[in-house]
Amino acid sequence: MKFEVAFDNDVNIELHCEDAVELLRRTKSNSIDLVITDPPYESLEKHRKIGTTTRLKVSKASSNSWFEIFPNDRFEELFNEVYRVLKKNSHFYLFCDQETAFIVKPIAEKIGFKFWKPIIWDKVTIGMGYHYRARYEFIMFFEKGKRKLSNLSIPDILVEKRIVKGYPTEKPANLASILIEQSSLSGETVLDPFCGTGFVGVAAMKLKRNFIGNDNNEEAINLCIKRLIDLQGAS
């Protein structure tokens, strides 16, 4: 399902509600300048069940709903499509935990991506858990071809306080802004196939990048639309 929303802005915003891989399959080859995304990886469900990550709406453990998990065995088809739609000499950033990082790295390399390093997102405050409670998350940094970063003085530890009481697993828009500025130019197109409420879209709009967002949760897409419209009204 494609959401037709008119944004009175210098950028093009396109939002969809469907399976991420299906959206990518319909996307033209070599048409995207940058992909930044945060899939609901499989290990999240394991941690939710034992109470070491956010409990969400309408889950058995709480009063809130949990989004559909993207299973590990689908990463190969996802990465194949991401690689195909990205232009030559472009970057791909994937948010994940340390468990998922070990799974996705060899898959992405097999497809043709060059893996540079995990960027560390320091959330400033610790999360739930029992054994050395997590204060960080990985951002896996992949490259198709070769593209120079805009600012070589940016460190590989990015410090942004985590969002509390927001949409489940919501990330700060400032975090996406750093990645967008590092790996794209004004007027280029950023894609997030698991966009949630649009933290990447907010950053893209502010930085004058075109944005294609998708999530299979219609509630998330509606919140994303509202968030982008509110941002436009405030500018």
> Looking at per-residue confidence, does 130 or 195 come out higher?
195
Contact criterion met (CB below 8 Å) for 97 and 68: no
pLDDT in tens, 80-133: 999 999 999 999 999 999 999 999 999 999 999 999 999 999 999 887 777 788
pLDDT in tens, 162-176: 887 666 678 999 999
**Helices 199-206 and 173-183, packing angle to 10 deg:** 50
Q: 86 φ, ψ to 5°?
A: -70, 140
Show the tokens assigned to 209.
């990048």
Domains of the chain: 2-234 (3.40.50.150)
Question: For residue 188, what pLDDT is reported?
Answer: 97
Find all residues with CB under 8 Å of 120, minimum gap 6, and list them.
136, 137, 138, 139, 156, 157, 158
pLDDT at 226 over 60: yes
Contact criterion met (CB below 8 Å) for 17 and 221: yes
3-state secondary structure of 157: strand
Q: Where are the alpha helices (DSSP H) in the chain?
A: 20-25, 42-49, 75-85, 98-111, 173-183, 199-206, 218-234
pLDDT at 148 over 50: yes
Question: For residue 193, what pLDDT is reported?
Answer: 98
Question: For residue 232, what pLDDT is reported?
Answer: 82
* Mean per-residue pLDDT over the chain, rounded: 88
Mean pLDDT of 35-49: 78
